[in-house]
Amino acid sequence: MAALDGMKVLDMTQYEAGTSCTQALAWLGADVVKIEAPEYGDPGRGVGRTENKDYSAYFCAWNSNKRSIALDLSTDKGHDLFMQLVPKFDVFVENYGPGVVEKLNIGYENLSNVNPGLIHARIKGFGTTGPYADYRCMDMIAQAAAGAFSITGEPDGPPMMPGSTTGDAGTGVQMAMAILAAYVQKQRTGAGQQIEISMQEAMTYYVRTRTFIASAWGTQAAPRSGNAGGLPPVNIYPCKPFGPNDYIYLMPVTQDHLDGLFAAMDRGDLLIDARFETVQGRYQNGAALYEEVRNWTGERTKYEAMETIAAAGVPCAACLDTSELHTDKHLRARGFIHQMDLPVHGKVPMLGFAPRLSESKVDMKRPPRLGEHTDKLLVSELGLTDDEITTLRDAGVIGDAKRFA
């Protein structure tokens, strides 16, 4: 049995901060139902437009293992149907912009009136209080506001945009964790509650180390260090054939690591080189030490260098690009790459979910087409007849699941 078997989630999320949260819950076994506008659905469906416009690769990345119902909440009947669904679910999640939920009359007070046990989860860029509460936010805005830009880049350059979308997905997994805590509490008390998370505040969790060790309790800005990770020779090194991602990153942070690195390089002479014998010496002669290591890595591919250095007990990794992730022998050996047959895209590899529970197995299922499960859900959850569903569709209250088939 899946860990979250029996948990039912109403998912009114879009793009990534919310969808990453609900996908994590779905991958743990929750029944997640996306509520989407009939005309266009989750706007993430159209990011990097596909021919069918509702099934972009971006959307597929964050919406596996979900079902979709196309329902127009701006209509009286659509809103009424939604409110009928609420008592049948444990969790409601949304990440709309400021004021949208209030305009739709689906705030915590409205929904808890019909389901006192509901967990009402809200993801907002800057929260619902404070001077920035009404500001619009997206991933990189949250990262900029949380200090991530300020610690990314070269020391003599400007703040730089980080490559990963931690502002969105990093917030989403924190919300998923909070929902699970509220769900456990509900098992004891029977009561629901409201959860709010600010993307800005969530992002500070991922800059916490740099903030605490380099900002002197907030009295100075942590510096940018580029690829140099502190004590030389921690850094990134080029490898043959010297393509844009042919690099290896090394983190020999202890004396044992350093001894292992020099031994792997077959450079016993460096072990007794007076320039590199002490921490102070390695700082003072960091450029020379970098050249010694670079000369060695430059004669090998990043995979050859990684295998040799890792075998010596030194923390290191080839810098895989996003294409190589899908073919990496280690990820494939662990079953992390899933082959999926998707509408529009055909047979493609999809990255999996990192947590592995020994007593809970959930197979990856393809993301839903817009409104794909509308009819079945209205029948199973609300007991509507075929004639009633046809009437709703003719009135534009629900979408046509066959539209994108």
Per-residue pLDDT band for 404 (boundaries 50, 70, 90) equals: low
Mean pLDDT on 20-27: 98
**What percentage of residues in the chain have a pLDDT greater than 70?**
98
pLDDT at 173: 98
Q: Among 42, 168, 246, 375, which one carries the catalytic annotation?
A: 168
User: What does the block give as tokens for 396?
Assistant: 């534009």
**Structure confidence at residue 50 (pLDDT):** 58
Helix intervals (H) in 198-321: 199-204, 208-214, 255-264, 268-271, 279-284, 286-297, 302-311
Q: Cβ(171)–Cβ(123) under 8 Å?
A: yes
Question: What pLDDT does 54 receive?
Answer: 86
Q: Which residue type is seen at 240?
A: K
Residue 222 has pLDDT above 70, yes or no: yes
237 pLDDT band, cuts 50/70/90, is very high
Q: Which CATH number is 8-206+335-394's, of 3.40.50.10540, 3.40.50.300, 3.40.50.720, 3.40.50.10190?
A: 3.40.50.10540
Average model confidence (pLDDT) across the chain: 95
Instruction: For residues 201-224, give the mean pLDDT.
Output: 94
SS3 label, residue 205: coil
CATH number of 235-324: 3.30.1540.10
Inform me whether the pLDDT recorded for 405 exceeds 70. Answer: no
At residue 400, the pLDDT reads: 84
Question: pLDDT (tens digit, 9 = 90+) per residue, 137-193?
Answer: 999 999 999 999 999 999 999 999 999 999 999 999 999 999 999 999 999 999 999
% of the chain with per-residue pLDDT over 90 = 94
Domain ranges in the chain are 8-206+335-394, 235-324
* In contact, 67 and 33? CB cutoff 8 Å: yes
**Other beta carbons within 10 Å of 48:** 9
**What is the tens place of the pLDDT at every residue in 265-275?**
999 999 999 99
Cα 196 to Cα 121: distance, rounded to the nearest angstrom? 6
Residues 6+ apart with CB under 8 A from 333: none
**Amino acid 230: pLDDT:** 77
CA dist 196 and 96 (Å) reads 12
Cβ atoms of residues 113 and 120 within 8 Å:
no
Neighbour-count burial of 188, counting CB atoms closer than 10 A to its CB (0-12 exposed, 13-18 middle, 19+ buried): exposed
pLDDT by residue (tens digit) across 315-352? 999 999 999 999 999 999 999 999 999 998 999 999 99
Strands 91-94 and 119-124: parallel
Categorize the per-residue pLDDT at 52 as very low, low, confident or very high, splitting at 50, 70 and 90.
low
Contact 172, 19 (CB under 8 A): yes
Residues 345 and 57: beta-carbon distance below 8 Å:
yes
Active site residue 168: yes
Q: What is the pTM of this model?
A: 0.94
When pLDDT is cut at 50, 70 and 90, the band that residue 401 belongs to is confident
Is pLDDT above 90 for 402? no
With bands split at pLDDT 50, 70 and 90, how would you rate the model's confidence at 229? confident
What residue type is assigned to position 316 of the chain? C
